[in-house]
Amino acid sequence: MSNPESSPQAAASSTSPPSHAGHIHTPLCRSCGAPAAAPAPAPWTGDSPPPAYRPIRMPAINAPTNTAAIVLSPVPQPLPVPPASPPFAFQAPAKRIASPDDIARFKDSTHGRHFLGFVASLSASVHGRKLSDPLPSPPSPAVSALLDLISALSAFVASTPPFPHSSRYGNPAFRLWHEKLGDSVNELIAPITATAASPSDLAGAEVELAPYLLDSFGNGTRIDYGTGHETNFAAFLYCLARLGLITEPDYPAVVLRVFASYLDLMRTLQDTYLLEPAGSHGVWGLDDYHFLPFVFGAAQLIDHKYMKPKSIHNPDILENFSKEYMYLACVMYVKKVKKGPFAEHSPMLDDISAVPNWKKVNSGLLKMYKAEVLEKVPIMQHFLFGSLIKWK
């Protein structure tokens, strides 16, 4: 190898006059030789991308900043739902969260811990189960009533066609659909509370349950939907569990039948009325609308013999198994509505596909749900508190 000190470039540099440190040469006009108005750009130091650099993944405003903290946090564990006992004092729930201090208070509260434990319990109940698998026990009357509720809301879509609309988001017909929900919400809830062992104990429960349900399907004014609305549906289910209307043996049916039907309805609403993503994380989110189906869907795939997280890149697997596993259905939906290379429009999902097994995916998503949904003020400021989910 030649000695760099003996190269012609080195010799030329050794005989050239020394440069003046810190002196910036003013560029000259190529036409007249006069100094140009703009000074030369400062040399690249390596602290930022070079001028010609264009990242493959464009930076996002909402890119996660606490990834290390999420990775190091403990995995949320299943917890039993604390039962509520009569006599009940039902009340219209209200919003309470307005600051990070309020988030910390909710996170450390009894219902904050048990609500997250309820989500983890639902996830654990569907380990290794396909959507079409027979349920371990027949659906309870409350589960059947919940399915009837979602079927009724689906019928509202058929009777409320979208208006001619040229904008990308926000078909005004959704406001009519939401009005129908509001007009019939008490009648929709009544068959669920009627399944109680003593229905008279739950007289007036609609005043507390209805606001959760009304906020589970998006905002009728803004015509949008996001993970906050999805969380309110989970809170509605949590309230039913507190009242003893759904119990732990019902959890597989709650996920594989009720939540799967809810997800199908929401996809219909999103596509029919062009709901705007509420607080979307852009390319750094899992999905512009949902989070929980990824949690439950990863749980379904735990210990699967053949499908691994990287299998989401196989179109045949998505086509053949998306009707059995919520995670695959969500990935397929993302690929349908977003254009371009998957690694660019969905870098988070692309990164997750490199995780070695579904158990790690599921535990990581549970931690991420806690940090990126339940601990975010812009999302949780819409969460409701009443007598069943108390604010202390």
Residue 298 lies in a domain: yes
* End-to-end Cα spacing for the chain: 74
pLDDT computed for residue 36 by the predictor: 52
Domain that holds residue 244: 97-385
* Contact in structure between 81 and 118 (CB atoms under 8 Å): yes
Structure tokens at 289: 């609308």
Helix, coil or strand: residue 15: helix
Structure tokens at 85: 């006992």
Q: Give the torsion sign (CA, 277, 281, 283, 289).
A: negative
Domain total in the chain? 1
Residue 50 lies in a domain: no
Helix (H) or strand (E) holding 185: helix 173-193
HSE value, Cβ hemisphere, 13 Å, CA-based, for 337: 16
Residue 106 lies in a domain: yes
Whether the predicted pLDDT of 31 surpasses 80: no
Bridge-based pairing state of the strands 224-225 and 276-277: parallel
CATH of the domain at 379: 1.20.120.1150
pLDDT greater at residue 141 or residue 42: 141
Residues 313, 102: Cα–Cα separation, whole Å: 41
Bridge-based pairing state of the strands 94-95 and 384-385: antiparallel
Residues across the chain: 392
Whether the predicted pLDDT of 231 surpasses 50: yes
At 141, the pLDDT band (50, 70, 90 cuts) reads very high
Residue 3 lies in a domain: no
Residue 67 lies in a domain: no
The CA-CA-CA angle for residues 272, 278, 280, to 5°, reads: 105
73 burial class (0-12, 13-18, 19+ CB within 10 angstroms)?
middle
**Overall average pLDDT of the 240-249 stretch:** 97
Residue 10 lies in a domain: no
**Overall average pLDDT of the 76-94 stretch:** 96
Residue 252 lies in a domain: yes
pLDDT computed for residue 171 by the predictor: 94
Residues 206, 200: Cα–Cα separation, whole Å: 13
pLDDT digits (tens, 9 = 90+) for 284-340: 678 889 999 999 999 999 999 999 999 999 999 999 999 999 999 999 999 998 889
Residues 295, 123: Cα–Cα separation, whole Å: 7
* Contact in structure between 244 and 220 (CB atoms under 8 Å): no
**Overall average pLDDT of the 176-196 stretch:** 97
Residue 110 lies in a domain: yes
Helix, coil or strand: residue 364: helix
